[in-house]
Chains A and B, each alone.
Chain A
Amino acid sequence: MSTPTIEKEPASKVELPAGVGGGEIPSFDITLKVRRYNPEVSDEAHWDEWQLTMYGTDRVLDALHKVKWEHDGSVSFRRSCAHGVCGSDAMRINGRNRLACKTLLKDLDTSKPILVEPIKGLPVEKDLIVDMEPFFQSYREIMPFLITKGHEPTRERLQSAEDRERYDDTTKCILCAACTSSCPVFWTDGQYFGPAAIVNAHRFIFDSRDDAGDMRLEILNDKEGVWRCRTTFNCSEACPRGIQVTKAISEVKQAILTRRI
């Protein structure tokens, strides 16, 4: 008979005795108000609220998880990576577009209810889930892929560090739609291409290896293109990746102008 081998628990599962491991995380109570909408029940949206005890390391996403896992499983929202990479969980938190997974509760005013709504300007499907298809439609229209002329090189397409730097900022986009759905021009009728499409066009227009910059500039020289931008900076404020969205839009405007004149 063999003696059962005692597997060592991974470090993350070992309960630390009190007083070890950097002290206790402060906890506090919050009120979370979520704008609910379920077209199968009612055409009207309403607010639901919960009192939760949360910790200093918790984010709005953790509060939503707590609600979904412990209070009301019908609360619907998108999230995937939970670490600000996939762009699934953009939502309006206290009136500002944020990723729920990057917004720490302790950075919000916890003395008041924390309001969570779906991003504006896109059709709400359920609770915090919106139909992203119009957003991706505009994204597809600007051809977000490398287009080249001539023969395919046998080696890698090389680029100088300076040329790479030119569009570095706009490579960071995770397509969360926080910018486009923070834009009042987009809210009006959803016709505007929106900041995200322009950011991703910028990414290729200013890429020295790409040969379809003119085509993209032509696409964005539309009635609903860059000229609808009113430089309100909502998009730059909303971007969880810190992209200078308004600046990128201005650069595309300037590129269209200099090409025409």
Chain B
Amino acid sequence: MAVPTVESPRSGRVSPGYSRSRSSRGNFEMGAWLFMRLSGVVLVVMIFVHLWTSMVAGDGISQVDFGFVAGKWASPVWQIWDLVMLWLAMLHGTNGVRTIINDYAEKNSTRMWLKGVLYTATVVIILLGTLVIFTFDPCPVIDGVAHVASYCPTA
């Protein structure tokens, strides 16, 4: 006589909220993890040099004004420096906040909305920042009036 097999009451029954629907392998999360560490290391150096040159060296914090920034951006070294710092900090910060959203938002729809806002803000700030670094003109001519600061060449 065949012994009826009694199925384990639990087998295969996982509360629906827990089952991982589609496995998304890919290497994106690994890349993001690696990027956080690498950009972090670069950022430490860049941020502290940045802080030191603008707030400690020379006249210290009191020297920072429109003219000081203009002076720095007259040099391609600082243009590139600030550009790289902008991109790294923004991508690093965005990915960090993306992680926080993943960790704290419980519903996929909430995640989607928060990330939508995050990515929009990131794109706007990166594009604006990049635009400013490369199109910055310390002595603009506005309505025919030039000469906004003492160091600008008189027309």
Contacts and interface: CB of A to CB of B under 8 A. Distances in A.
30 contacts: A133-B10, A133-B13, A133-B18, A134-B15, A134-B19, A137-B14, A184-B103, A185-B103, A188-B104, A188-B105, A188-B106, A189-B106, A191-B18, A221-B25, A221-B27, A222-B20, A222-B24, A223-B23, A223-B24, A223-B28, A223-B29, A227-B30, A227-B32, A227-B33, A228-B29, A228-B102, A228-B103, A230-B103, A253-B33, A260-B30
Given A185-B103, A221-B27, 13 more contacts: A133-B13, A190-B17, A190-B18, A191-B18, A221-B25, A222-B24, A223-B29, A225-B29, A227-B32, A228-B103, A230-B103, A257-B34, A260-B27
Nearest to B29: A227
A256 B29 CA distance: 11
A224 B25 CA distance: 9
Contacts of B32: 227
Interface in B1-29: 10, 13-15, 17-20, 23-29
Interface residues of B, number: 25
Interface of A: 123, 131, 133-134, 137, 184-185, 188-191, 218-219, 221-225, 227-228, 230, 253, 256-257, 260
Dominant secondary structure at the A interface:
helix
B114 to A, nearest CB: 13
A78 B106 CA distance: 29
Contacts, number: 60
Nearest to B32: A227
A35 B139 CA distance: 70
Contacts of A228: 29, 102-103
Nearest to B105: A188
Nearest to A223: B24
Contacts of B28: 223
B20 A191 contact: yes
Contact of A134 (B14, B30, B105): B14
